A and B are shown apart, each in its own frame.
Chain A
Amino acid sequence: MIDAVGLTRSYRRNATVIPVLVGLSLRVARGEFVAVMGASGSGKSTLLGILGLLDRPDGGTYRLDGAEPPWGDDAALSAARNAAIGFVFQQFHLLERATALRNVALPLLYAAGDVADDAGRAERALEAVGLAHRALHYPGELSGGEQQRVAIARALVNDPALILADEPTGSLDATSGGEILDTLRRLADRGRTIVLVTHERAVAERADRVVTLHDGRLTGPPLPPGPAERPGRAAAADDAARAAGS
């Protein structure tokens, strides 16, 4: 699903260039639930931005579902994002002045061509996260956990293959956070590919596999565990070398 090799990305602030990703490689198999752990400021969100086609890497190659994204063609890139990727953010990122239903329907707004029954689809997505009864509520009228479930419904409404979750439990209490993780876990079990970034070990451990982002690179098992290769902790070494070898 995801095949990123040697990704680099740096930011320019005034005259200084701040490298964030320095040769990061990551492979995620279809249906896999991978957690990327890292301290705040380690570049987790930057990585997610690139994986989600919101940001272009300075170097390296990124293949999504076997194809290099059409960087440079905003329309095609946006269409790919719309069709293939659902986002879940720490701050929920719902539109404050839109009802839960309108928020969930947002990706349908930007879907290509005619969309039949967009309201119905949004309703069913809300139903799937157990919030059908809150459809006409505004985000301000919902609890944090409910807002995040609305955000998950929004991520799912267009039936994307990949869910990218950025600290989805970071703004929630333990109970609500647990529910959100249960939901993501269920999605993964039904074959949805999920990449979750977090700084919490407990959250990361709900994933199939945990990699750690440190100094702009990943450590931890870079490849999905399979019959041919089941890397243990000992095998975890420089990930760039592995990427080169794989």
Chain B
Amino acid sequence: MNRSRRITRDALASLLADKRRTALMMVGLATGVAVLSAVVAVGQGTRQRVLGLVRKHGLDMLMVRAGGEAQVFAPRADRGLAVLFEADARAIEAELPNVAMVSAVQNQRGIPVVHQDRSVTTRAFGVEDDWMEIRRWGVAEGEFVSAADLATASRVVLLGARVARDLFPQGGAVGQVVRVAGDPFTVKGVFVEMGASAGGDDWDDRIVMPYTTSSRRVLNRPALEQIVIRVADARRLGATADRVRELLRTRHAIGPGERDDFFVREPEDVEGAALEASSTLTALLLAVAIVALLAGGVVIANSMLAAVAQRAREIGIRRAAGAQASDIARQFLLEAVAVALAGGLVGVAAGIAAAASLGAVGIASSRITWLPFALALGSCALIGLAAGVLPARRAARLDPAAAIRDPAR
């Protein structure tokens, strides 16, 4: 074994031989890295979750529901006071800035859909042609409702993935005729699998037709259940929601102090707030972590400086045995870097564990990628190196004769 490998091995063995000192030096850095790792993992997890939601539904959507806030969770039968009309939708579209698209929405449960000997009972939606883009749905086969379909109130229907599966187990639904509440409709398209909403609604268990068709031919009523809105600038979603509220209160002649007879929901405002809060928290925790990292470095530098005095005898012994000043310097530097790296590893492990358990109990979603940890370990190595320079120089400069002669000094 060559000289530098022997010296390296010996330095590491010395660290292992004094586990208590080594552990104490590691604590600060390990804490910093643990917080840092957890913050990064949770931050990335939150970001990913929110981005996933944006991708799926958009953070740029407002939904106006008929009925006041109190009625949202009331039994469905009580929601008969339908006070949204297409004119409300048109007014929102025409009068408000930052509104990109609007769609009137009707929906009703319990609509039978039959194809030959197969039948399902599902929820029927009547929508306008922008609805799919507002909701960010996708059509797997066929096409979505067109402006012409709306204009002519044509009897076309799109099937949710599950409805399509139930009625057409062999596929090939597009172009077929199904009976919706007794009337023949041509299947214009089939949606992609959408899964379920946060509230547990099965988005694949529905059919969608033009709003004009639903209001005139199927449900035979003009009242809307919803108006969905896509805003142009998602950052002004809240302001736009306020404008919608104002407009509808005026249109519905609701006096001051009276309750809304509608409810404007910002479906993702919870997520937006979560993202914002988490980025504030992330910044705070990052600051804490960086302070902890620096403090960890100072702890290492400090205990190693103290160690130079405490280990004067050891240094003298090593020098007497033939160690060069540079060998001593190298040993101290190596110790500092090794301690820092070990602290970093412990910290990363603790941080990942913390992030994972936060995720497991549902406080935060975490996402673990290798890059932040590689960076954390890299910074630890640098911190160790920086922390080790001064002690190493001092150790190397120690007068070996004096250290041997009166080591107590």
Contacts and interface: CB of A to CB of B under 8 A. Distances in A.
Interface stretch (A59-67, A74-82, A208-216, A222-230): A74-82
A110 B3 contact: yes
A114 interface: yes
Main secondary structure of the interface of B (DSSP, over half): helix
B322 A118 contact: no
User: Which of the listed residues B322, B323, B407 has the most CB atoms from chain A within 10 Å of its own CB?
Assistant: B322
B325 A55 contact: no
Given A49-B404, A55-B401, A102-B13, A107 B322 contact: yes
A26 interface: no
Given A75-B326, A114-B2, A107 B321 contact: yes
B227 to A, nearest CB: 77
B313 A75 contact: no
A95 interface: yes
B55 interface: no
Contact of B3 (A49, A93, A102, A113): A113
A52 B320 contact: yes
Interface residues of A, number: 35
Interface in A54-113: 54-55, 74-75, 78-79, 81-83, 87, 89, 91, 93-95, 97-98, 102, 106-113
A45 interface: yes
B314 interface: yes
Given A49-B401, A78-B319, A110-B7, A97 B17 contact: yes
A54 B14 contact: no
Contacts of B317: 93-95, 106
B400 interface: yes
A110 B314 CA distance: 14
Contacts of B6: 108-109, 115, 118
B323 A87 contact: no
Interface size bracket, B side: 20 to 34
A154 interface: yes
Given A89-B404, A97-B18, A118-B6, A110 B323 contact: yes
B405 A49 contact: yes
Contact of A110 (B17, B324, B399, B407): B324
B276 interface: no
Contacts of B313: 93
Nearest to B322: A82
Nearest to A97: B17
A81 B322 contact: yes
B10 interface: yes
B1 interface: yes
A52 B318 CA distance: 13
B346 to A, nearest CB: 22
Contacts of A98: 13-14, 17
B394 to A, nearest CB: 15
22 contacts: A46-B405, A54-B319, A54-B320, A74-B326, A78-B319, A78-B323, A78-B324, A78-B325, A95-B317, A98-B14, A102-B10, A102-B13, A106-B317, A106-B318, A109-B10, A109-B323, A110-B318, A113-B3, A114-B3, A115-B3, A115-B6, A118-B6
